[in-house]
Amino acid sequence: MTRPVATSAVTIACAIGLLLTGCRDRSPAPAEQPTISAAPPAPISAPSTPLALPMKAGSVRFAAIGDAGRGDAAQYAVSAQMQAYRRVFPYTFVVMLGDNVYDGGTAADYRLKFEQPYKPLLDAGVTFYATIGNHDDLDQPNYVPFHMEGRRYYTFTPPALAVTRPLGSNVRFFMIDTERLDREELAWIDREMEKSGEDWKIPIFHRPIYTSGRYARPARWLRSALEPIFLEHGVSVAFSGHEHFYERIKPQQGITYFISGGAGSLRAGDIRPTPLTDVGFDRGFHF
């Protein structure tokens, strides 16, 4: 399949990449052990980082959060910045890059690590679409607010209010489960991308296939499985989490990969810049 022309690619890539670099919270990193004690709501202020906002009509506007679900002050602080940015960049849906509710599957876990931190966004009608991470409950696909509808992997097109014509109708997201990736799922990805009529096919998954962090070695196997499918079907951009930092990978065979695993978790000093790194940081929470 032919890739979208360069001018369209710039429009979409800027729009969907914006919010990943737009928020930094410099409070101390949380401990690796999650907590289910409720944190106080963070005050909503102006966006923390001035940005040139890609407001061109037809761009797809959404937020991406990874490794968020701890229910602590850092998660609330990022949520407050998400609300602040939404005032000037009106996105209507969020993709969740895995580790959405850390190490728990009770009603209290979902309430304290998702529903309460993002209550203002949920009350405003923002839709959340989740993909599975290694710390997520196996029953998570049945949690209604994540819009997985019982599926470990699925596709969706942006809600009607999220976009304006003409480009908005030309985008499809592919929510991939990298925790139990098998031949059946790989065949499904290939088949769904093949039959998709959208030019923009955007994969969302937890474990990165390119990274300058500690998971570079296991990324090679995932890359060998997924990258040929992405290349075959003209993917231009993909998002993952798992590494607790932000990294934008230099385009690899025409595909730009984003890692955003710091919406509630952080490992300062964990990124190891390599020739792959275009932009990266590990000392600020982000979305």
Asked whether residue 38 is assigned to any structural domain, the reply reads yes
Asked whether residue 1 is assigned to any structural domain, the reply reads no
Average pLDDT over residues 148-164: 83
Specify burial of residue 262 (Cβ count, 10 A radius: 0-12, 13-18, 19+): buried
CATH number at residue 115: 3.60.21.10
Do 84 and 91 contact (CB within 8 A), yes or no? no
Asked whether residue 48 is assigned to any structural domain, the reply reads yes
Tens digit of pLDDT for each residue in 97-145?
A: 999 999 889 999 999 999 999 999 999 999 999 999 999 999 999 999 9
| 3-class state of residue 118 by DSSP | coil
Is 28 a residue whose pLDDT tops 70? Answer: no
Asked whether residue 121 is assigned to any structural domain, the reply reads yes
Asked whether residue 59 is assigned to any structural domain, the reply reads yes
pLDDT at position 55: 75
Domain that holds residue 90: 6-281
Q: How far is CA 117 from the centre of its chain?
A: 17
Predicted confidence band at 47 (pLDDT cuts at 50, 70, 90)? Answer: confident
Asked whether residue 246 is assigned to any structural domain, the reply reads yes
Tens digit of pLDDT for each residue in 247-257?
A: 999 999 999 99
CA distances from 138 to 117, 152, 166, 180 (A): 22, 9, 38, 11
Q: DSSP state, 134?
A: T
Q: What percent of the chain has pLDDT over 70?
A: 78
Domain count, the chain: 1
Asked whether residue 287 is assigned to any structural domain, the reply reads no
How far is residue 59's CA from residue 80's CA, in Å, rounded to a whole number? Answer: 24
pTM: 0.85
CA distances from 235 to 1, 155, 174, 175, 231 (A): 9, 14, 11, 14, 6
Predicted confidence band at 42 (pLDDT cuts at 50, 70, 90)? Answer: low
Asked whether residue 105 is assigned to any structural domain, the reply reads yes
